[in-house]
Amino acid sequence: MQKNHRWFCWFMIGFAAVGGILYGYDIGIIAGAILFIRETIPMTDAQSSILVGAVLGGGAIATLISGTLADFFGRRKMIIAAALIFLFGAFLLSFAHTYAGILIGRLTQGVGVGIVTIIIPLYLAESLPADVRGRGITAFQLLLTFGILVATLVGLYFTPTENWRGMFLSTAVPGFILLIGSLLLPNSPRWLFYKGRTDKALQVLLKSREHVHAQFELEKMHTLILQEKNNAKNLWAFLCNKQYLKPILLVMVIAAVSQIMGINSILQFSAYILKHGGLSANITAMLGSTVITSVNFLFTVIAFLLIDRIGRKFLLNMGTAGCTLSLLFLSCVYYFVPLSEIKGFLLLVGLVSFIIFFAVGPGVCIWLILSELLPARVRSSGMSIALFVNSMTSTLFASSFLPLVKHIGYDGVFLVCAIAGGIYYSLSYYFVPETKDKTLEEIEMGFASLSEHETRTAESLRSLAG
């Protein structure tokens, strides 16, 4: 790759992945704010859980329609819209004086975040060359964890004054950065190609690839379109085709179980969990939360450096196995250890362990799974549905987190998360393919080859039986 091509790749990665900061900042800022909102505006545990889950709920609404809108308007315009919506949500939160006002502000920011979670990984997957695509999409997760870390540090800064409105107002900063960056990005070459603007698609590809590689990718796109026309005359036939049904179902199930593992709830309630687990002082709980988010960022950096070297599958297998064991440890600590500072620090150890394994595995790989495995014909709408499932699962889990704790205890909640982790590990080990150094078209054709092999094997077995 020529130097100017590499620089342009990192330019796209840098500005597009700022959306990760925006998403992470919004997740992280509530961890500190929720401790002080309740002192200003009275609310029940159920209302607190709903407030935490509101961003994810707004995101679920957005993810359901973002793919279709992105196919019509383009990826770049949708990123601009996400930044504007998010900024409006920051304004609403800064001037909220009632529970309803905060809830509406959180839902509004959630809509912006929901658009970002679909469009930016989609944009990066469609725009970057295969040899840097893994790091490019991982950069979204890297900056997401950086956003969580910064939000936690900002929350720590505001803790002595308990100024939760200042915490929410600070979310406008990443919103403005994303808005400015999105105005400088080119359109997705694959979106341009599917809109019939082949010459323009080639121009964009040539900014980040040598001519021979750009031409090769265009030919792959042409081949894939012809294959889709031959294999699927309508959407129903398309979805019933094994070649497409297997990756679609795999993505949908992973989208759900990754959230039942509880990552968003654990991050957003981290200070709350530690405070009720033995670290009773607000500042101690916030410091513990800061340790968790710092570790999350550090190990996402490590995963970022490894993802295109050792591949996705190894990291995902190791990460999901480690997450499962860490969650089982947390469940045991809550069940067997009496309330004390020792228990609080053991919980911190368990949470840090969970975050380490999540960061190097599911954290970086989820966006690659969603953006790489889905077939081209349903990639944007498929990501919309998958992220709707992901966001809705996360919303329901976060909104019911504290009420669930009252019924089955923290030990029971962590056990449920561990079971989800075990399911995720099984899916990763047996069904998720390695996609390192492959173009999106080669990944899709790989599923086609696998389906043809399975069909031939089944036919051979039937003939032997006959």
Element (H, E) at 346: helix 341-358
Question: Which amino acid makes up residue 89?
Answer: G
| Strands, E assignment, 348-430 | none
Tens of pLDDT, residue by residue, the chain (466 residues): 566 777 888 888 887 678 888 888 887 788 778 878 888 888 887 888 888 778 877 888 887 788 788 888 988 999 999 999 999 999 999 888 899 999 999 999 989 988 988 888 888 888 888 778 777 777 887 888 888 888 888 888 888 888 888 888 998 988 898 898 888 888 888 888 888 888 898 888 888 888 888 888 888 777 766 665 555 444 455 556 666 777 888 888 998 999 999 888 887 777 778 777 777 666 666 677 778 888 888 998 888 888 878 878 889 999 999 999 999 999 999 999 988 888 888 998 999 999 999 999 998 887 777 777 777 667 767 777 887 888 788 888 888 888 898 899 999 999 999 999 999 999 999 888 877 767 766 777 766 565 454 444 444 434 545 5
Q: What is the CATH number of the domain that holds 412?
A: 1.20.1250.20
Return the sign of the alpha-carbon dihedral for residues 104, 100, 285, 263.
Answer: negative
pLDDT at 353: 95
Print burial letters for 352-387: b (CB count within 10 Å at least 16), e (below 16). bbbbbbbbbbbbbbbbbbbbbbbbbbbbbbbbbbbb
**pLDDT value for 455:** 46
Work out the number of other CB atoms within 10 angstroms of the CB of residue 68: 12
- Predicted pLDDT of residue 459: 46
CA angle 332, 335, 337 (to 5 degrees): 90
Domain count, the chain: 1
Q: For residue 228, what pLDDT is reported?
A: 56
Q: Provide the CA 142 distance to its chain's centre, in angstroms.
A: 11
Q: Which amino acid is at 431?
A: F
Backbone angles phi, psi at 262, to 5 degrees: 90, 20
Q: How far apart are CA 390 and CA 398, in angstroms?
A: 12
**Residue 70's pLDDT is what?**
87
Q: Which of 250, 274, 262 lies closest to 395, judged by CA?
A: 262
- Give me the pLDDT at residue 241, please: 63
Q: Which two tokens stand for residue 114?
A: 């929901």
Element (H, E) at 87: helix 75-94
Q: In terms of residue numbers, what domain contains 427? A: 3-465
Residues present in the chain in total: 466
Joined tokens for residue 61: 């609404």
Query: What confidence score (pLDDT) does residue 273 get?
Result: 80
Task: Report pTM.
Answer: 0.70
Q: Do 25 and 147 form a contact (C-beta atoms < 8 A)?
A: yes
